[in-house]
Amino acid sequence: MTQEEIKAAIKEASKGILKYIEIMGVLGKVNVSECLIFQKLYKGFYRVRRNDEWCKVYFSHLENNKVNNDISFDNVLDYISEKTGRCEASFSSKLVATINPNKPIWDRWIIQNTGHRAPLSADKNKIALTKAAYRSIENWYDGFLKSDDGKLYVQTFNKILPKDIVDRITDLKKVDFILWQIRTKKK
């Protein structure tokens, strides 16, 4: 991407960035399993469209683990699958990344723009394949953040947005916001 394309993606993400900062600011101040204001903000930001029973399981797990920086994608994926019967790669990753902002999210655009593919929903090994794909995404971010392109993404993000915002967002999340805005395959 050119620096102008990166700038455009950051500007496009600016409302989402502010919502993200709000979510992260509230996370440690409320019981997220009970706070409907937090849940509404989170569900709106991450486009959670699940029933009340699913949300109860999800937000209780987030609350019970929100100080566990060592939480793993694999464990959350297994827990959500066990409790809901669904392989929730995207929402599991978002729970993990909310607790540890140095972890990537699994999202349609992130998957596409990092050159990954989601396992087929009918695959009998979907959970194992999903875990392997997530580890590959983590490895992609590790390499990208060290690359010249990754450094350009972060530097551009840091130049465009105010310091008080920049200081509250990890470098991984900065790249994440840019990739999330790219709606076509990254070259």
pLDDT confidence of residue 7 = 95
CB-based contact 134:106 (threshold 8 Å): yes
Q: What distance in Å separates the CA atoms of residue 181 and residue 8, rounded to the nearest whole number?
A: 9
pLDDT at residue 182 greater than cutoff 90: no
Q: Which amino acid is it at 182? A: I
Which segments within 7-158 are labelled E, that is strand? none
What's the pLDDT tens digit per position in 80-95?
999 999 999 999 999 9
For residue 167, report the phi and psi dihedrals to the nearest 5 degrees.
-70, -15
pLDDT at residue 151 greater than cutoff 80: yes
Q: What is the mean pLDDT of residues 119-136?
A: 93
